[in-house]
């Protein structure tokens, strides 16, 4: 229900007392952060 409201109303995120209960999938940075972390980690091993 919360996801539907977020999508229908065009919200980017909906919070409930400090917790994200809905976020637009377009703002997920997980893959970018993991790649940069892996790159940094591999550089430090050299």
Count of domains observed in the chain? 1
Cα separations in angstroms, 12 against 16, 21, 41, 43: 14, 11, 31, 35
User: 9 falls in which pLDDT band (50, 70, 90)?
Assistant: very high
Helices (H), the chain: 2-9, 30-45
pLDDT value at residue 14: 87
Angle at 38 between CA 15 and CA 42, to 5 degrees: 155
Q: What is the model's pTM?
A: 0.45
Give the domain extent around 32.
Answer: 2-45
User: 32 falls in which pLDDT band (50, 70, 90)?
Assistant: confident
Task: Output the six-digit token pair for 42.
Answer: 């591999």
Task: Output the six-digit token pair for 2.
Answer: 């919360």
pLDDT value at residue 46: 64
Task: Output the six-digit token pair for 23.
Answer: 């976020």
């Amino acid at each position: 229900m919360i996801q539907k409201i977020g999508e229908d109303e065009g919200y980017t995120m909906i919070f409930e007392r400090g917790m994200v209960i809905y976020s637009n999938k377009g703002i997920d940075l997980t893959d970018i952060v993991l790649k940069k972390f892996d790159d940094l980690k591999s550089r430090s091993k050299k």
